[in-house]
Structures are given as structure tokens and as C-alpha cells.
Structure 1
């Protein structure tokens, strides 16, 4: 699996587009490829917001205006603009033309053009950061979290973590408790979002090994750990990001992740 090593997981300032160009000059997308982009709100200039809004559908623009707080509205706009931009980059077509259905537990699914692979996309956002992950055919989930949040980590862990995870958290140095908690949390959320079961999936019924990023289930009949691959990054000093993708062969899976080039978003909005 081609991914950012853990030792290099702090994001670079500039990153190339995900996926090498195929024979037609477009980035290739398939079941063995995952593309993940993130966008830091601090990087967005005042003049960029009207451009990002042009990438959204009318329904998304309406929903954006319903947010009470500016920060919530802004990160919603950034996340949905990012999603549409990545779909257009990898599959073509105008950003506003992409349509989505909503599954039983609220997971959005792309309505892919006829004759194309089933595109699978997932969005996440938190204070100051938006992210999106895209692949074909396979289940995928992404989660981002803000490290500066205040949380009663061990009390929350008692309710939602498996015993092994609670022990790792209890053993962590005080200064590392928030990051350890959120590392588990982002991995769990990414998996739950990938399977599309929402809150109906108990978070303490499976656990992670942070050294290997392997998942294990209390009930072996629930899911097969060998079919899941995970990755995680630090998109900046204040955020963590985790990815889950159902894929049976780690060696074949190529994951490309990095910050979206803002110039691409600006050019797309002006096209």
C-alpha cells in the first residue's frame, strides 16, 4: 500500500494531484486507488469563498445558509466544494452536476454516470479542516478531528472504547492523552462511516492496534479484518485524519493523500 509513512505524516505545504495521469490525461481511478484531499480553512482567502460557493449545488448553498455560526457554514462549504472538485478532477464533468443519494443511515453515495465505475466518496470536517476520500467500488470512510478540543478522554473512552484501547489510553502520558484518544476515535469513525451503519455499530465491539493500524472484532462473524486497510495522517499541527477502505490486498492498494492545490479550486470555479 502506497501511503504517507507514519514518520512523515505531517503534511507538506504543496502536494501534487492525487493519481498519476492515465492515457487520456486524466487521473486514473479504480478499486485499487484511493485519493484523499484536505483543505485547511486558514489557507482560504476572503476572495476564495465566493469561488468555492460556485462549486456547490443549489441545495448545498441553501443548507450552508442555515448554519448559525460562520465557522460551521465555512467548513461545510469547504468540504462540499472539495468533494465536488475531487470528483471532477478524477472523473470529469462540471462540479455542480454531481448528484448524490442518501443510504439508510445517512451515508451519501455518488450517482455515477452510466458506463463508469461505482464511485465511492466520503467527507469529513471539523473546526478548521475539511477532507474527502474517493475510490471506486470499495467501501471507504474518512474522519478528521481537531486536537485542541477539550474532552474528558478517559470518561468518554469508558463508554465507547474496547478494553484494550482503554488500557492504551490509561497508560499514555498526560500530554498525549488527547492525541491518543483522537487517534483511536478517528480510526473508529472512519471504519463506521465506511460500513455506513452510523450509530447502530457499537464502537466498543471492535478495537485497533495503533502500531499496525489493524482492526479486530469481538465477534469474528461481524466482519473480516483482512479485508480492511487503514491509514492516518496529521494534515497540520492541530488536526488528525484517518482513512478506512475495504480492500483485500494491501500490496495492490495505492493511497495518495495531500492538501488540495487552491489554484486548482480557483481555476475550476472560474471555468
Structure 2
């Protein structure tokens, strides 16, 4: 969890899973799960694979390394599991389409609310975020990765972000770089443009979590809520939600209940 953040006052995820016909999601709620791969026993992977779709299982086989295949399976199992945990139904029943920039979109029932979901994964960790009708993006990064932070920042960060990074102690360079990176990734994923959106066209303040935009990018900072989390000592996570009254948002987050996920594949 984010060290400086108080626990949510409405821990609605603790009241799940819902029964069929029920829901725990409202337009003012965001549900967030993460799952560490080292918590999954070798004997449980086959069961977890049964939670995802046949297409997702086929796609996972294209990865060369087992760790990449497993984190892909974990991310998509967590996504389907969170949907069923919050909305009811079988995880395998959810269907997705792909947007213009490759962002998966949940196909919601025509007579129901438009559910928005986003997933992210990195070495050892997968995460998923869910809300109703609002643009949402999530990004997770591994703190042990190798990166030439200053050199890369000059290519993709805004000027003030580069100054913040340059002033950071050497021991915190990577953490500072990835704090900016996860926020930027979460935002561009939320708006559905991915890295086709120039990352230097907007900037963040890590203390206030406020976003500011250059003139060439039309967006309103007041409509966005950002959060940062540290689900474990080796990972950083950021969340972006577009909401006209984002101060009303309740964001509940927790480690995915592995027993529940495995039961869905059994």
C-alpha cells in the first residue's frame, strides 16, 4: 500500500464476492487487485489457467520465457476474477474487444452500466483496476530493472520532471524515475492511446500527484485523480481515474484472494 495513505473508509471489497444478480460497483467506486507470482504454487498454475479464456491461453503460449507466460496468465485471471468477484457470473464468461490503440475494452451488456477495466504486469506482479463508466488506467513496474534513467528521461519526460529526477539522490534515482513513469503510463492507458501519446506533453508533481498539460494536449487536470502504491518492496504501482467529482471516489485495493481465484478454475 501507499505508505502515506490512510486505509479506505469503505472497504467494500471485504464484502465480496457478490452473488449472481448483485453488484458492489457504483460510479464512485474503484476496485483494485494485485497478485504476486511467488504466492502461486507450481501445482496451482494449471487451475489458474482454467480461469482465463482459450484465446488468452493460446496467446500465453507465444511467450518464450515461463515467467512472462505466467505473469500474463496471472494478470488475465485476476482481471476476470475481479469482474466476477464484484459483479457476479463466471470469470470465463467475460468478453473483450480491442480499441484503436490496442487497449482491451470489456464488452458490457447493452442494458447495463459500462464497466471499465485495465490491467498491468511486470516481473513478479500483476494488477487490475475496475470502475464504472470512467476512464481508468493502471501501471506496475519492477524496482530492480536496469534503466539509464537520466538519459531516458531526457527523451520522454517533461523538463520539470527531468529536473526533479536530476536532483534525486543516486540511491533513489530509479524509484523517482519509475514513480513518474508509472503515473504517465497509467494516464496514457486511461485515455486509450498508449505510448502513441507523447509523454513530454504532460507532467506530474510527485508530492501533489497533480497532472499539468502542455497547450498541445487538451485535457483538464481537475477531472483526474491519481494514486501511487507500493504493494511490496520491489514494485511500484500507479492508478489514473477520470472522474468529474473525483474527491467522491472510494478506491479499495487489496491482494487478490488466491483461494477465490483458484476456486473459479476448479
TM-score using structure 1 length: 0.91
Matches within 5 A, 1:226-241: 226-241=222-237
- Of residues 251, 254, 263, the one that matches 2:250 is 254
State the 1:115 CA deviation. Answer: 2.1
Task: Say whether residues 1:130 and 2:126 are aligned partners.
Answer: yes
State the 1:52 CA deviation. Answer: 0.7
Question: Would you say the 8 A contact 2:144–2:234 is kept in 1?
Answer: yes
Matches within 5 A, 1:114-193: 114-193=110-189
SS at match of 2:246: coil
- Of residues 35, 60, 65, the one that matches 1:64 is 60
Segments of 5+ residues of structure 1 without an aligned counterpart are: none
Task: Say whether residues 1:203 and 2:227 are aligned partners.
Answer: no
SS at match of 2:79: helix
Aligned-CA RMSD value: 2.0
Task: Say whether residues 1:105 and 2:101 are aligned partners.
Answer: yes
Aligned equivalents of 1:105, 1:54: Cα separation in 2: 28
Counterpart for residue 78 of structure 2: 82
Question: Would you say the 8 A contact 1:54–1:269 is kept in 2?
Answer: yes
Task: Say whether residues 1:7 and 2:4 are aligned partners.
Answer: yes
Question: Would you say the 8 A contact 1:35–1:255 is kept in 2?
Answer: yes
Counterpart for residue 219 of structure 1: 215
State the 1:17 CA deviation. Answer: 6.6
Task: Say whether residues 1:55 and 2:20 are aligned partners.
Answer: no
Equivalenced residue count is: 262
TM-score using structure 2 length: 0.93
Deviation by residue 1:145-199 (Cα, 9 ceiling, x = unmatched): 0000010000000001000000000000000000000000000000000000122
Give the 4+ runs in structure 1 shifted more than 6 A.
22-25
Deviation by residue 1:53-112 (Cα, 9 ceiling, x = unmatched): 011111001011111100100000000000000011111111111100000000111011
Segments of 5+ residues of structure 2 without an aligned counterpart are: none
State the 1:30 CA deviation. Answer: 2.0
Aligned equivalents of 2:110, 2:45: Cα separation in 1: 32
